[in-house]
Amino acid sequence: MSQYQLYAVGAVLLFCIGLQGIIVCRHLLKKVMAANIMGGGAFLFLISIARRNTIETADPVPHAMVLTGIVIALSASVLALALTRQIHKTTGHTTLEDPTNNRVEK
């Protein structure tokens, strides 16, 4: 087992925890954080595989991908937080309830 494999295993763990979090946690902020953890797992995985060839320099491609990914993750988080705040503002809820009780926009 090499170092990158160790980190890869950790990445997968993080990914699963994040997934579990999004699904199970009810509070929206927690869901947001879980999504970030999930993303963190994915990124960690990418960075770890950049070292898969165990030569001196890391593969730059996964690094570039992660960098892009981080920006995207941030945007998603910002959007999610904005929506969360808006939901709280309009309904007072902090969870994704009432899946059936849809009212049409007016």
Partner 1 sequence: MIIWLVLLPFAGGVLAFALARWGRVIGLLTTAGTFAVGLIFSAQIWQNGPQRYLVGGWSVPLGINFFADGLSAVMLLITGGIGTIISLYSISYFAPTARKGEWSENDTFWPLWLFLVGGLNALFLSADVFNVYVTLEVVTLAAIGLAALAGNAAALTASLRYLFAALIGSMAYLMGVALLYASYGLLDFQALQQVVQTDAPTVLALSLMTVGLLLKTALFPLHFWLPPAHSTAPAPVSAALSGLVVKGSFYITLRLWFETFYGQIHFSAGQLLGALGTAAILWGSFQAVRQKRLKLLIAYSTVGQIGYLFLLFPIITATTSRDVVAAWAWSGGLFQAISHALAKTSMFLSAGVLLKAVGTDEIKSMRGIAGHLPLTTFALALAGISLIGLPPSGGFVAKWLMMKAIIGSGQWWWIPVVTLGGLLTAGYVFLMLRYTFLPQEANHPFKPVSPVMQGTAFALAVGAVVIGFRAKELITLLNIGMGFPEVPVLENPGL
Partner 2 sequence: MSWVEWAFDGVLLLGVVGLAFGVLVVRDLYHSVILFIAFGLLLALGWVRLGAADIALAEAAIGAGLTGVLLLDALHAMRVRGGGRVT
Partner 3 sequence: MIWLSVILLPWLIALLMQERTYRVSRFLAPLAPLPALAFAIFGDSNASASVDWLILGVHVGFGAVGQVFLFFTALLWSLATLFAFDYMRKDERPWRFHFFFLLTMSGNFGLILAQDIITFYTCFALMTFAAYGLVIHDRTNEALRAGRIYLITALFGETLLLGGMFLVASQSPSLLLADMQEAIAEAVHRDLMMFLIFAGFGVKAGVLLLHFWLPLAHPVAPVPASAVLSGCMIKAGLLGWMQLLPLGHGSFPQWSTFLVVAGFSAAFLAVIAGLAQKSPKTNLAYSSISQMGMMTVALGIGLATPEAWPPILVVLLIYTVNHALAKGALFLGVGVAGATGQSRWRQRLCLGGLMIAALAIAGAPWTGGAIAKHALKNAANLAPEDWYPALTWLLPLASMATTLLLTRFLILTWQQMKSSEKTSHPAPALWISWLILLVAVLGSVTFAIGRYAIELERSTATLRSIWDSVWPVLLGVALLIALQRVLRKRKLWPIPAGDIVVLLEKAFHSLRQIGRALPVPGPSYWQINIVASVQRLAESETKQDITNRVESLLKNWTAAGVGLVVLILLLVLLL
Interacting positions 21-60 with partner 3 (CB under 8 A):
22-24
CA 48/CA 6 separation, integer angstroms? 9
How many residues sit close enough to partner 1 to count as binding (CB under 8 A)?
Answer: 45
Q: How far is the CB of 23 from partner 3 (least distance, A)?
A: 4
Per CB under 8 A, 15 contacts partner 1: yes
Q: Which two tokens stand for residue 57?
A: 């320099």
In 51-63, which positions are buried (b, 16+ CB within 10 angstroms) versus exposed (e)? beeeeeebeeebe
Query: What distance in Å separates the CA atoms of residue 1 and residue 68, rounded to the nearest whole number?
Result: 29
Q: Which is nearer to partner 2, 46 or 106 (CB)?
A: 46
- How many angstroms separate the CA atoms of 10 and 8, rounded? 5
| Site residues (vs partner 2, CB under 8 A) | 3-4, 6-7, 9-10, 13-14, 17-18, 20-21, 24-25, 27, 29-30, 32-34, 36-37, 40, 43-44, 47-48, 50-51, 57-58, 63, 66-67, 70-71, 73-74, 77-78, 81, 84-85, 88-89, 92, 94
